[in-house]
Amino acid sequence: MKKSLTINASRLHQRIQDMGKIGALPGGGVCRLALSKEDQTARDLFKQWCQDLHLKVLIDAVGNMLGVQEGSQPELPMVVTGSHLDSVATGGLFDGPLGVLAGLEALQTLQENGYDFKRSLAIANFTNEEGARFTPDMMGSLYIKKGISQQEIYAAQSIQAPHVSFESALQRIGYQGKNKLQDLPFHSFVELHIEQGPILEQENITIGVVEKVQGIYWTEFHLKGVANHAGTTPMHLRHDAGYVAAEIATLARKISQQFAGQVATVGMMQFSPNLINVVPQEVVFTVDLRNTNHDLLEQAYQSLITQAQELANKEGVTLVAKSLVQFAPVDFDAGIIDKVEHNAQNLGYTTRRMPSGAGHDAQMMAAICPTSMIFVPSVAGISHNVKEFTHPAHIEAGTNVLLGVIQELLEE
């Protein structure tokens, strides 16, 4: 029978602050890129906290971590919660660590109340959720669902120079494990995460009941024109890769206005030779397209590729478009969605059902077992920004909902 337990909010708050000291940036926020020294330190701390709770720590070949509280019937499929500890280069304290540390807090609360675990409960830290150093994003959970091979992952080169392989970076931080997590029997997965958008705050809602995640297409464009003198080259004789890149960035915004629910982002752009008085020879840039509707996302993508090629042809610039990520939208499990909703409402929290605009490990886990997510509000809807913040009361609320959902899943 489910007991109504509540978490130790100050202990969770302290863990979030302690984790936030790793990779801390001078002006606030964190930089903890996947497989960096900072990621290693964060992993070490998580492992220590798991060992303090006498959890079995499993690590697989791509560095995914599971802290497991073994139940008395370990043959039963396990309940899993968690998220990621890597961050973007200008990240906040909550994107990822909230899910990992709230899971740990829920588990510790169950332990302290003498909960009789029949089914095991595991806390996950998935490798490279952000995709900010190695693409694709959600890499570790994609590997667990067998959507990418170990070889492909090991060969991935870091986006930023000095370019290193995933394999060498993983070996350097000492998290190349031997445990096979892919074949573990997972009963269910639930992830607590900040919304990273403005909806919950604007509507003054405490708990987001997440029904689905947008599809994500990441494309890298490589334009090649002709470097030339900025002063002496007549405009009609130019093959200006920089001009075409700017036109495509503008095109991406136009396309986002042509398809319902479409978002488009040009987040990275590198000019070469990147000199004030030289017509750009080459530009490498990325376009991130997302939509909850797969057909519209596909149409937006095709429209971008076709029109980008036309713009390049007109300027006599060559264009190579390389698809880095194509993840379809994912619907979550109705049963777990309902558990999130009724646990939140029974605790007296306001709720609203919603999609996730951001990608999450849950969208990969949904292919393996019944999955859903719990959102809590982001102040001013800000995330992937050092100013990311979520109020402690909302963190406490979300973690108490997570605890209730986990208990129900453990009892199933």
Toward ligand HGY, which CB reaches closer, 60 or 137?
A: 137
Q: Which of 100, 121, 244, 358 binds ligand HGY (CB under 6 A)?
A: 358
- Mapping DSSP to helix (H, G, I), strand (E, B) and coil, where does residue 138 land? coil
- Quote the least distance from Cβ 92 to Mn ion, whole Å: 9
User: Residue 141 CB, nearest distance to Mn ion (Å)?
Assistant: 11
User: What's the closest the beta carbon of residue 313 comes to ligand HGY, in angstroms?
Assistant: 31
* Residue 167 contact among ligand HGY, Mn ion, none, beta carbon within 5 to 8 Å by kind: none
SS3 133: coil
Using the contact rule CB under 6 A, the part of the chain among 69-77, 130-138, 226-234, 397-405 near ligand HGY is 130-138
Helix (H, G, I), strand (E, B) or coil at 324: strand
Contacting ligand HGY within 227-266 (CB under 6 A): none
Which option in Mn ion, ligand HGY, none does residue 359 bind, with CB closer than 5 to 8 A by kind?
A: ligand HGY
Structure tokens at 337: 């969605």
Q: Does 129 bind ligand HGY (CB under 6 A)?
A: yes
Based on the shown chain and the rule CB under 5 A, indicate whether residue 197 belongs to the binding site for Mn ion.
no
Tell me how far apart the alpha carbons of residues 47 and 216 are, in angstroms, rounded to a whole number. Answer: 31
Tokens of 146: 């067998």
**Residue closer to ligand HGY, measured from CB, 240 or 388:** 388
Selection from 304, 248, 240 nearest residue 272 by Cα = 240
Which entry of ligand HGY, Mn ion, none binds 137, CB below 5 to 8 A by partner kind?
ligand HGY
* Residue 324, φ and ψ in degrees, nearest 5: -95, -35
Report the distance separating Cα 240 and Cα 247, nearest Å. 11
Map residue 114 onto helix, strand or coil.
coil
Piece of 41-49, 128-136, 257-265, 327-335 that binds ligand HGY (CB under 6 A): 128-136
Q: Two tokens at 97? A: 């660590």
Near ligand HGY by CB under 6 A, which window of 123-131, 180-188, 224-232, 327-335? Answer: 123-131
Residue 400 tokens read as 């108490």
> Is 396 a binder of ligand HGY (CB under 6 A)?
no
38 binds ligand HGY (CB under 6 A): no
| Cβ proximity of 369 and 187 under 8 Å | yes
Phi, psi at 103, each rounded to 5°: -65, -45
Torsional sign, CA 48, 50, 53, 55: negative
Q: Which residues of the chain form contacts with ligand HGY (CB under 6 A)?
A: 129-131, 137, 358-359
Q: Which residues of the chain form contacts with Mn ion (CB under 5 A)?
A: 95-96
